[in-house]
Amino acid sequence: MRETRVAHRYAHALFNVAIARDLVDIIASELFQLRSFIEKDKRLVGFLEAPQVLTEHKVELIKTLFTTRISQPLLSFLLLLIEKGRIEYLSEIAVEFEKLVEGHRGIIRARVTTAVPVTDDFKNRLKIRLEELSRQKIELVHKIDRNIIGGIIVQLNYKIIDHSIRHRIALLRHDLMAIKVY
């Protein structure tokens, strides 16, 4: 819970700077690349999180690696995270920042789960229907989970539409357990 609040607070601060300097797309792209890099190679984050490494050495490394590769606001942000001892939250901050960017662009990410692969035609029709319902642009993220047995689950922001067989079986089980037999 604390991690989410910290990430949300820092992501908002970075987002406000990006808006003020009209660098939302650039910072979003750089932050995505940075997040991909640190998720592939944990050595950098391990070094930056290590308490035995002096802050000056961490700052020097970040400046050496990223001065010519990322925008000045993002570089300053990384240095701030190091100085405040919050670099461990960088991945979570990147996720929160991405959500803010999507909201700024009027995009909602819909997570769609099915038991089997679905056609592109089905995805397009679902996307159009969800855009009509939400009156916003939708980005579909499809996931296959054989445990739902069949049907579909759509998570749209904080709303979940569960039309899976697994859910219907659970409802049926609940109803049958509620019946008193004499």
- Please list, in sequence order, all residues whose beta carbon lies within 8 angstroms of the beta carbon of residue 30, skipping any fewer than 6 positions away: 70, 71, 74
Q: Residue 73 in contact with residue 16, Cβ under 8 Å?
A: no
Question: Domain total for the chain?
Answer: 2
Chain segment 39-73, per-residue pLDDT in tens: 888 888 889 999 999 999 999 999 999 999 999 99
Question: Is the separation of the CB atoms in 139 and 108 below 8 Å?
Answer: yes
Same domain, 8 and 53: yes
Q: Answer yes or no: is pLDDT of 121 > 70.
A: yes
* Dihedral angle sign, alpha carbons of residues 74, 27, 61, 39: positive
Does 122 share its domain with 161?
A: yes
Range of the domain at 140: 107-178
Do 112 and 32 share a structural domain?
Answer: no
CATH number at residue 61: 1.10.520.20
Instruction: List pLDDT tens digits, range 22-47.
Output: 999 999 999 999 998 888 888 888 89
Picking from 159, 155, 135, 132, the residue whose alpha carbon sits closest to that of residue 145 is 155
- pTM for this predicted structure: 0.71
